[in-house]
Amino acid sequence: MRKLLFLFTILALALCAQDAQPPAGGGGGRGAGGGRAGGRGPAKNLKVLTEEELIGGAMRQAATGLGVMCTYCHNATDFASDEVPAKVTARAMFAMVKDLNGKFPDGKAHVTCYTCHRGAEMPLTAPPAGAGREGGAGGGGRGRGGPPQE
């Protein structure tokens, strides 16, 4: 099942990353008002990410990290629009990730969307129920430094 889900995610991302074919009348891209016009023009409404980060795959990494398609955050006809609330949240998350990575002296990306989300729309805020009770670190379900459980 995991292999099928992984394959589906890869195929979905490949479809999302393709440029749209221009209509017969010329033009092209992702709709009347927005985005990078199929990758052939300046991005619109950038507030946190740079054009270079977009070209470097920031959107693809975010979609993979959350296991979602582009339209989870973007209006399908106007990628520059902020009408989808998830886009505003994503922008704050990109700012947080940039801030965290900026604190590492080596200049590498140590934190990504996947660091917390692990391929899910909502990151877990606590371990799943029953995690660590059997065979986990600390043995016997004691955890770190806790009293022995009977």
pLDDT in tens, 20-48: 554 444 444 444 444 454 555 688 999 99
Cα separation, 69 vs 11, in Å, equals: 11
Most confident segment among 11-20, 83-92, 132-141: 83-92
Which residue range forms the structural domain that includes residue 56? 49-117
Total number of domains in the chain: 1
Asked if 22 and 38 count as a contact pair (C-beta separation under 8 A), the reply is yes
Amino acid 39 reads G
Cα separation, 24 vs 84, in Å, equals: 30
Tell me, yes or no, whether 68 lies in a domain. yes
Nearest to residue 138, comparing CAs of 128, 148, 129?
Answer: 148
pLDDT for the residue 133? 66
What is the pLDDT averaged over residues 113-136?
A: 84
Cα separation, 97 vs 65, in Å, equals: 13
Structure tokens at 36: 């990078």
Tell me, yes or no, whether 8 lies in a domain. no
Tell me, yes or no, whether 149 lies in a domain. no
pLDDT for the residue 39? 52
Give tens-digit pLDDT for 41-96.
688 999 999 999 999 999 999 999 999 999 999 999 999 999 999 999 999 999 99
Strand partners, 75: 78
Asked if 29 and 37 count as a contact pair (C-beta separation under 8 A), the reply is yes
Q: Coil, strand or helix: which one is 29? A: coil
Tell me, yes or no, whether 129 lies in a domain. no
What is the pLDDT averaged over residues 105-126?
A: 93
The dihedral region occupied by 29, where left means phi > 0, alpha psi between -120 and 50, and beta the remainder, is left
Strand partners, 78: 75
